[in-house]
Each structure stands twice: as structure tokens, then as C-alpha cells.
Structure 1
Amino acid sequence: MAEEEPIEVRFRLFDGTDIGPDKYDPSTTVTSLKETIIARWPQDKPNAPRAVEDLKLINAGRILENKWTLTESRVPVGDMSASIITMHVVVRPPSSDKRTDKEKEDGSRQGRCACTIL
């Protein structure tokens, strides 16, 4: 079986800037790609991802599963073996554990009846 050539991938961030392009082995997993993105995240960008779970990679409109390899993630479109694959990066916003007073007040009202008995 012939050895597969490295695949050139660039990651497009939310503001249109890119990380890469770089060449990756076709057997590289999506999880490994996400780890690379976290390590190379630009310091001047807000909302930096902290973990692999904070990222989603999208290629040709498909959200890629962590266990997939680059080979499984590619979408064959004619003969594009020499072109760069652009994957879009979506970052899940950090969740806030602190609730505002208004949210606490609204939360305490849930489950109560709002009926008025005359």
C-alpha cells in the first residue's frame, strides 16, 4: 500500500484570521488538530479555548467528530489533492458559574404558581 502524502490544513478563526497552513499526517485525529489549535491560539484573541471540548471544527459544512482522522474528515471534491483544506474553528463561549441577582430572583420564582385567587 502506498504511503499517503501529508495533508495541508489551515484553521480559520471567527474573525477571519488563520492558524497555519501546516501539513499533517492523514492519520492525525481531530482531537490532535484541536490540541494544536489550542497550543497555537493567538495571544491577542479573546475567548481562547481551554480544552478540546471548547472547540468544534467544521469542514465543508460538517462538524468533525474527535475520533475521526484527517482522511475520514476530508470531503472529496474532484481532484483537490494539492490544495489546502480550510477548516473553520468555532469556540464555545466560557460558561459563567456566577448568576446575577436578577437570574437568581427569576430562578427562585420558577416552579411557583402565578395565579391570583379572589
Structure 2
Amino acid sequence: MAETTPQPQPQQQLEIRFRIYCGADLFQGIFPLSTTIESIKERIMSEWPQDQSVQPTSVDDIRLMHAENPLVSGRTLGEHRFLIIPGGVVTVLVIVQLPPELRRRAVGTNQDSRIGCTACCNLL
């Protein structure tokens, strides 16, 4: 009887670190590949630091990027490609892209000038 070698199981979850535009880590967690991008955005909204100059007003203001590729709403983590180093943590950049009317209003005031261009700078 031929002996079969066990096949490696495909990875069923990812350890992800979420980093915001200023370079600080928002949080880190282990997520099943079935996790939707919308549920991750909801968690980001709930854990967003109140002392940041840019505040997302809804999950639609949040963009997630990994290796210059967007994580698309309406999909799960398993439907995206990730650069995974064995035993490593995946870093996802969290970008707040305010609606155009809020960007114009923020730039026109004496508030932090980065508010209007945060998304632009991080997307380049």
C-alpha cells in the first residue's frame, strides 16, 4: 500500500495589521478568509482614534490598500491576493477619502491642511 504524504492545508485565516496615513498602527487581528471588506471597515470605524485630524464619517470614506491594490467592497478577504511571508503579518494601509464637499470645506478653513489631501498623498 502506497503511503501518501499529507498535503499542506490552504491558509484559512490572515493576520492583518491596519496602518493609518500617519504611520501608526490602528490595530492588528486574525481574520478568517470569509471576512467581508465591509465588516473590516465597520471595525475600523469603531476603533478609529478620536485624536486624528481626519475622521471618517462612514465606511464609504475608508479605502483599504495592500501592495498598491485596493481591497474591494463587496468581496471577502479570500477573494483578494495578499503578499504573505510564512509566519508574517499582512499590512493593510487605511486611507480616509472624504467626499469632495468635505475636502473643499476643510481646506478652506484654518484646520490642518493635510485634511484635503490625505487620500491624494497616500494613493500616489
User: What residue number does 1:61 align with?
Assistant: 68
Q: Counterpart of 1:38 in 2: which secondary structure?
A: helix
Structural mapping, 1:84-99, within 5 Å: 84-93=89-98, 95-96=101-102
Q: Tell me, in whole angstroms, the C-alpha distance in 2 between the residues paired with 1:88 and 1:42.
A: 15
Q: TM-score normalised to the size of structure 2? A: 0.67
CA contact (8 A) 1:59 1:73 kept: no
Q: Tell me, in whole angstroms, the C-alpha distance in 2 between the residues paired with 1:32 and 1:68.
A: 10
Q: Tell me, in whole angstroms, the C-alpha distance in 1 between the residues paired with 2:13 and 2:44.
A: 18
Q: TM-score normalised to the size of structure 1? A: 0.70
Deviations 1:19-74 (A, max 9, x none): 12111111101111111111000111121111111011001110111112112223
Structure whose CA Rg is larger: 1
**Cα–Cα, structure 1 residues 71 and 82, in superposed 2: closer, same or farther, change >3 Å?**
farther
Q: Tell me, in whole angstroms, the C-alpha distance in 2 between the residues paired with 1:98 and 1:46.
A: 15
Q: Tell me, in whole angstroms, the C-alpha distance in 1 between the residues paired with 2:87 and 2:78.
A: 14
1:51 paired to 2:67: no
Equivalent residue pairs, number: 96
**RMSD of the alignment, in Å?**
2.4
User: What residue number does 1:103 align with?
Assistant: none
Q: Counterpart of 1:34 in 2: which secondary structure?
A: helix
Tell me, which stretches of 5 or more residues in structure 1 are unaligned? Answer: 100-118
